[in-house]
Chains A and B, each alone.
Chain A
Amino acid sequence: AQSVSQHNHHVILSEAASLELGCNYSYGGTVNLFWYVQYPGQHLQLLLKYFSGDPLVKGIKGFEAEFIKSKFSFNLRKPSVQWSDTAEYFCAVKAYGSSNTGKLIFGQGTTLQVKP
């Protein structure tokens, strides 16, 4: 069965530090990849997505992610975090071929706490 693994469950950073959150998935076929963010008290919203083309994708609020097919990875990065980036981050994968539905497989989530 396909799975998505986020290696860091809880990350604490100081403002201006660089961020990288890991995401690996287990599926050898074509995928669409997503990062969602949930700010405290708010609903899940899309941060960025990869469907095809340039494997380096840019999202909102200065976030970017790189799809490395050979490593089955889609890590999220930001060069300099702000206190307002404190949130929970979810990686998700749509695996083509295993199912024609719109089901996504979500990782367990990473809680990011940014200290001012």
Chain B
Amino acid sequence: DVKVTQSSRYLVKRTGEKVFLECVQDMDHENMFWYRQDPGLGLRLIYFSYDVKMKEKGDIPEGYSVSREKKERFSLILESASTNQTSMYLCASSINYGAGFGEQYFGPGTRLTVT
């Protein structure tokens, strides 16, 4: 079974802090994604990566950056956390070709609270 793990289930940070959210997948997937999930807004894509060191902005990249130094790991960075970044953050991975193309596998999420 595909496993996507995220470093923390719950995180509380202060305004202005630099925050790192880590995601690891064990299925050698090319694609990795970071979303935020807010009530009534569904899932909004922040950034995604289709290969090591490659990244593309999603729909709401402002205030975030990402890093992918190894294929299995994708990090989301909040350079200076703000209260409007309080949210649930979901990581996902998927293959980049073949019959399963498009199907994403999700981690358990990190609920981040910025005070």
Residues of A whose CB lies within 8 Å of any CB of B are: 9, 32, 34, 36, 42-46, 49, 51, 90, 92, 94, 101-104, 106-109
Q: Could you say which residues of chain B place their CB within 8 Å of the CB of A109? A: 40, 42-43
Given contacts A42-B108, A102-B94, A104-B104, list 13 more A-B pairs with CB under 8 A. A43-B108, A43-B109, A46-B105, A94-B101, A101-B50, A102-B31, A102-B95, A102-B101, A103-B45, A106-B43, A107-B42, A108-B42, A109-B40
Q: Could you say which residues of chain B place their CB within 8 Å of the CB of A34? A: 102-103
B36-75 CB mask vs A (1 if < 8 Å, else 0) is: 0000111101001010000010100000000000000000
Some 6 contacts from A to B, beta carbons below 8 A apart, are A101-B56, A101-B96, A102-B50, A103-B48, A104-B104, A108-B41
Say how far A39's CB is from chain B's closest CB, in angstroms.
Answer: 12
Say how far B42's CB is from chain A's closest CB, in angstroms.
Answer: 4
Q: Could you say which residues of chain B place their CB within 8 Å of the CB of A107? A: 42
| Contacts known (A32-B101, A108-B42); A43 close to B107, Cβ less than 8 A | yes
Give complex CA distance A44, B108 in Å. 7
Give complex CA distance A92, B94 in Å. 14
A90 touches B102 (CB 8 A): no
B94 touches A44 (CB 8 A): no
